[in-house]
């Protein structure tokens, strides 16, 4: 499972209370459920090198396209900065607080 630091970075990026997060599954990705504004959301964490971000962004854009064109799927949400993905790096908490 990913560290609390990674979960904390994700909670800030997607603006949810880290205490509401629940582990769902682990296969290629780790999936967590969290509650925000009384609604359930799912967070997918992919333990990949930062170089994979463009590939993951393309996948998220494809899912958004499908949802916008009538295919029943979960609609991806944006970070508080308006991005479709967020790179969370172990050790960034410590360097940010210095």
Q: What is the pLDDT along the chain (98 residues), one digit of tens a residue?
A: 889 999 999 999 999 999 999 999 998 899 999 999 999 999 999 888 888 889 999 999 999 999 999 999 988 889 999 998 999 988 865 544 44
Q: Which domains does the chain have, with CATH numbers?
A: 4-96 (3.30.200)
pLDDT at 74: 85
Q: What is the pLDDT of residue 39?
A: 93
DSSP state letters, 68-84: HTT---PPP---TTS-S
Residue 93: the pLDDT is 59
Picking from 17, 21, 18, 20, the residue whose alpha carbon sits closest to that of residue 31 is: 21
Q: How far apart are the first and last CA of the chain?
A: 26
Distance (Å, whole) CA 13 – CA 60: 16
């Amino acid at each position: 499972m990913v560290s609390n630091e990674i979960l904390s970075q994700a909670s800030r990026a997607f603006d949810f209370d880290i205490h509401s997060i629940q582990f769902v599954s682990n296969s290629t990705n780790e999936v967590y459920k969290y509650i925000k504004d009384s609604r359930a959301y799912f967070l997918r964490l992919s333990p990949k090198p930062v170089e994979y971000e463009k590939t993951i962004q393309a996948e998220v854009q494809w899912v958004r396209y499908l949802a916008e064109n009538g295919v029943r799927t979960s609609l991806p949400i944006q970070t508080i900065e308006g991005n479709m993905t967020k790179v969370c790096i172990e050790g960034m908490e410590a360097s940010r607080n210095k």
